[in-house]
A and B are shown apart, each in its own frame.
Chain A
Amino acid sequence: MVARFFRSRGARKFMANRLAVAAFLVIAGYLLVAGLVWFTGIITLEETLGRIGASYQPGLWGAQRSGKRIEDATFWFEVAQNAADRGDFETARGGVAFYERRLTGELDADEIKARVARGIALAKEVLVVEGFDESASVLPKVDEIDAIVVELFPHPEGWDAFMYGARHVLGTDRQGRSISFRAIYSIKVAVQVGVVTALFAVLFGSFVGAAAAFFGGWIDHAVIWLYSTFSSIPYLVLLSVLVYMFNDTSVDKTLIPLYVAFGLTFWVGPCRVIRGETLKIKELEYIQAATAIGFSRTYILIKHVIPNTAHLMFINASLLFIGAIKGEVILSFLGLGVKSGPSWGIMISQSKAEVVSGFFWQIGTATVLMFVLVLAFNILSDALQDAFDPKHV
């Protein structure tokens, strides 16, 4: 079956289109990341919500003002202080292991407290006495603070070091959370919304559309009425209603309101297209040949009609996937979509204030990731159309 698919005319045509293959690989990359996040928990939800350092840190370890470095150090001092206050070093290590840099095991609680105190005192000196002035007298003190942090939290090694780097590579947002991890976790959220919506909408819509056209009569009338009604409801409005309906329930913080809104409105597209195609197919002579053999109507619908609409299902699925992702981002931007956890929409919404002050790391990361995915999908669905639509052959 698979081998046959690759021998088919459409598949060969698709493979010859380099851009399409590149787009396909890009999408496969996104799906792989989403799968990794989903199945291996390589990035957990908590990690996207916790602080990892100072706020508004630029990405790619960009040049830092001393004020930022002190802010970052202060964050680590707080972490160390909390651990030392609890006095329990095993737990403390566990607690801070979250940040990948582990508390050095040789220092005892008093030692840690002393160093934290010295570091904080130094920081205050720089901040209060010297201000943010990057003069010769400030820099040595800042270096000394850094040294204390490194003593308290030795740099991690191996895989931990890689994750530490990955976490910081694109900087942090206002709350000191990792932009890279939030953006990557958003891939999973987006793909999840896209896949669930596209699968449901295409399978349900196609089947209903094909059955309506094939059986005709009142079934067709009912389906036309149903999709005209649903397509006249904008999903934004529907979703607002759903959000208020689910407000303060256990469903509120999940993606379910999104699924319901997209599911109710998105099936209309494939339903229309597949209905039209079925109207055409059912007049073809191979359907009459199947009737002449004596197969039942249902068998003919399932075995002879629906498989011949598969190319349209693929194209529709890729369009809806993108539609759902864009919808999720827009709704999350408006505060109606994803409620707990990151999403590109939430990231873009949060970066409104940052952009004004010239900090582009958050909005940049979210939009670039989304742009690449949407572009790749548009290229893919064009190529699919070219390759598999009989009219283009």
Chain B
Amino acid sequence: MSDPATAPALLEVRDLVKHFPVRGGILNRVVSRVHAVNGVTFDVRKGEILGVVGESGCGKSTLGKTVIRLLEPTDGQIRYEGKPLHELGHRDMMPFRRKMQIIFQDPYSSLNPRLTVRKMLREGIRFHGSVPEAEIDDYIVELIRQVGLRKDAADRFPHEFSGGQRQRIGIARALALKPEFIVADEPVSALDVSIQAQILNLLLDLKENLDLTILFISHDLKVIEHFCDRVLVMYLGHIVEELSCDALHEEAVHPYTKALLGANPINDPDDRRELEVLEGDVPSPFDPPPGCPFAGRCPLVEDRCRQEMPPLVDRKTAGHRVACWAVEE
């Protein structure tokens, strides 16, 4: 396997923007827009696990779903192995649908309650013809074994499983089409801590065995640090820092990343307390102010921060980018 640090980019995202129209009033007009993702640029390299971290509502899920075209981008480019995904129609997307899959945050709403595991898996396999018809049943048994479920799970309905088991089913569904790239949208944050580790280990094993590339989304920097090769720190639809996970504590320079590091650990997924070192409110994503999105809570804030948006610039260390005026070159 190639070294992720130097591997070629599998997915290139350029200036990606996703706005949600907010309708209201008696005429149901668009009254404002939620700026969920606000012009982000990054690469996902072949064979790496790229983390995305940020507080609830900062646009992590939106980003993950937009790069695989579950949501239509408002603006920007997405290239997969050089192919511009953002230009493809439903039919032309098909080969990429097979190659890119997603694991969802909520193991309860991500499985159709009316389908048995077998039907759920077979549906997609058949659709893409990724396995010859005669081998589908064996393949499903193998998949179920691979994600660590018992054989008899195949003919059960989702409500017969626990949260962790459901998440394994969700992983099996994502793997069924033999994808290359997987978006894991907070796959463990709805689970008990003891089960989180099992699922993360499963993901790691699968990644090694199946040669996957993973975009791993989490609000927990601790999990990201252990699990990922690199991390994108998001704040209010922007990437504020991008760096390698190896030297996270030493190299992190953005005030928000530092705050996140200080505020670790947030082990309890329900614990959405404000980060302790941070004061002030997250600005509303409906009507973002000009300048740095973090200005309202930043301990290092200067006048310039409120007027001008800091660009995401490369630092001396390769692969380290940061968007902050207070960080000297």
Q: Do A and B bind each other?
A: yes
Whether A106 is near chain B, meaning CB under 8 Å from some CB there, is: no
**Is the CB–CB distance between B101 and A295 below 8 Å?**
no
Given known contacts A294-B97, A294-B98, A308-B113, A288 and B104 CB-to-CB distance under 8 angstroms: yes
Whether A339 is near chain B, meaning CB under 8 Å from some CB there, is: no
Chain A residues within an 8 Å CB radius of B173: 289
Whether A174 is near chain B, meaning CB under 8 Å from some CB there, is: no
Q: With CB as the reference atom, state the residue of chain A lying closest to B179.
A: A292
- Which residues 273-306 in A have Cβ within 8 Å of B in the complex? 284-286, 288-296, 303-304
Whether B93 is near chain A, meaning CB under 8 Å from some CB there, is: yes
**Is the CB–CB distance between B106 and A285 below 8 Å?**
yes
Q: What is the total number of residues of chain B having a CB less than 8 Å from a CB of chain A?
A: 29
Q: Which of B70, B110, B111, B114 contacts A291 (CB 8 A)?
A: B70
Q: With CB as the reference atom, state the residue of chain B lying closest to A286.
A: B112
- Which residues 47-80 in B have Cβ within 8 Å of A in the complex? 65, 68, 70
Whether B128 is near chain A, meaning CB under 8 Å from some CB there, is: yes
Chain B residues within an 8 Å CB radius of A390: 113
**Is the CB–CB distance between B97 and A292 below 8 Å?**
yes
Interface size class of A (residues with CB under 8 A): 20 to 34
A9, A284, A295: which has the most chain B beta carbons within 10 Å? A284
A295 to B123, CA, bound (A): 10
Whether B194 is near chain A, meaning CB under 8 Å from some CB there, is: no
Whether B159 is near chain A, meaning CB under 8 Å from some CB there, is: yes
**Is the CB–CB distance between A286 and B102 below 8 Å?**
no
Given known contacts A285-B104, A307-B114, A292 and B109 CB-to-CB distance under 8 angstroms: no
- Which residues 134-182 in B have Cβ within 8 Å of A in the complex? 157, 159, 170, 173, 177
A293 to B101, CA, bound (A): 7
**Is the CB–CB distance between B104 and A289 below 8 Å?**
yes
A8 to B177, CA, bound (A): 29
Question: Chain B nearest CB: distance from A79 CB in Å?
Answer: 62
Chain B residues within an 8 Å CB radius of A294: 93-94, 97-98, 127-128
Whether B239 is near chain A, meaning CB under 8 Å from some CB there, is: no
Q: Which of A9, A286, A291 contacts B109 (CB 8 A)?
A: A286
**Is the CB–CB distance between A293 and B124 below 8 Å?**
yes
A288, A290, A390: which has the most chain B beta carbons within 10 Å? A288
Q: With CB as the reference atom, state the residue of chain B lying closest to A310.
A: B114
A288 to B61, CA, bound (A): 12
User: Per-residue 0/1 for B82-120: is the Cβ within 8 Å of any A Cβ (1 yes, 0 no)?
Assistant: 000000001001100110111011100111111000000
A288 to B112, CA, bound (A): 11
User: Would you call the interface of chain A mostly helix, strand, loop, or mixed?
Assistant: helix
Question: Chain A nearest CB: distance from B116 CB in Å?
Answer: 9
- Which residues 293-336 in A have Cβ within 8 Å of B in the complex? 293-296, 303-304, 307-308, 310
Chain B residues within an 8 Å CB radius of A289: 102, 104, 110, 170, 173
A8 to B70, CA, bound (A): 32
Chain A residues within an 8 Å CB radius of B111: 286
Chain A residues within an 8 Å CB radius of B101: 292-293
Given known contacts A293-B97, A294-B94, A285 and B177 CB-to-CB distance under 8 angstroms: no
A295 to B101, CA, bound (A): 13
Question: Chain A nearest CB: distance from B122 CB in Å?
Answer: 12
**Is the CB–CB distance between A293 and B123 below 8 Å?**
yes
Question: Chain A nearest CB: distance from B241 CB in Å?
Answer: 29
Chain B residues within an 8 Å CB radius of A295: 123, 127
**Is the CB–CB distance between B159 and A288 below 8 Å?**
no
**Is the CB–CB distance between A286 and B110 below 8 Å?**
yes
Chain A residues within an 8 Å CB radius of B177: 293
Question: Chain A nearest CB: distance from B77 CB in Å?
Answer: 20
A359 to B65, CA, bound (A): 73
Given known contacts A292-B68, A293-B177, A308 and B102 CB-to-CB distance under 8 angstroms: no
A66 to B68, CA, bound (A): 91
Q: With CB as the reference atom, state the residue of chain A lying closest to B65.
A: A288
Q: With CB as the reference atom, state the residue of chain B lying closest to A304.
A: B112
A293 to B128, CA, bound (A): 8
- Which residues 156-195 in A have Cβ within 8 Å of B in the complex? none
Question: Chain A nearest CB: distance from B321 CB in Å?
Answer: 29
Chain A residues within an 8 Å CB radius of B159: 9
Given known contacts A9-B159, A293-B177, A308-B113, A288 and B70 CB-to-CB distance under 8 angstroms: yes
Given known contacts A288-B70, A292-B68, A293-B127, A308 and B98 CB-to-CB distance under 8 angstroms: no
A157 to B127, CA, bound (A): 67
- Which residues 247-295 in A have Cβ within 8 Å of B in the complex? 284-286, 288-295
Q: With CB as the reference atom, state the residue of chain B lying closest to A293.
A: B124
A289 to B171, CA, bound (A): 11
B interface with A by C-beta (< 8 Å): 65, 68, 70, 90, 93-94, 97-98, 100-102, 104-106, 109-114, 123-124, 127-128, 157, 159, 170, 173, 177
Interface CB pairs A-B, < 8 A, 9: A288-B104, A292-B68, A292-B97, A292-B102, A293-B101, A293-B124, A294-B127, A296-B90, A303-B123
| Contacts beyond the supplied A293-B123, A294-B93: 16 A-B pairs with Cβ under 8 Å | A8-B157, A9-B159, A285-B110, A286-B110, A286-B111, A288-B65, A291-B70, A292-B97, A292-B101, A292-B102, A293-B128, A294-B94, A294-B97, A294-B127, A294-B128, A303-B123
A interface with B by C-beta (< 8 Å): 8-9, 284-286, 288-296, 303-304, 307-308, 310, 390
Sorted nearest first, the 4 A-B pairs with minimum C-beta distance are A294-B97, A285-B110, A293-B124, A285-B104
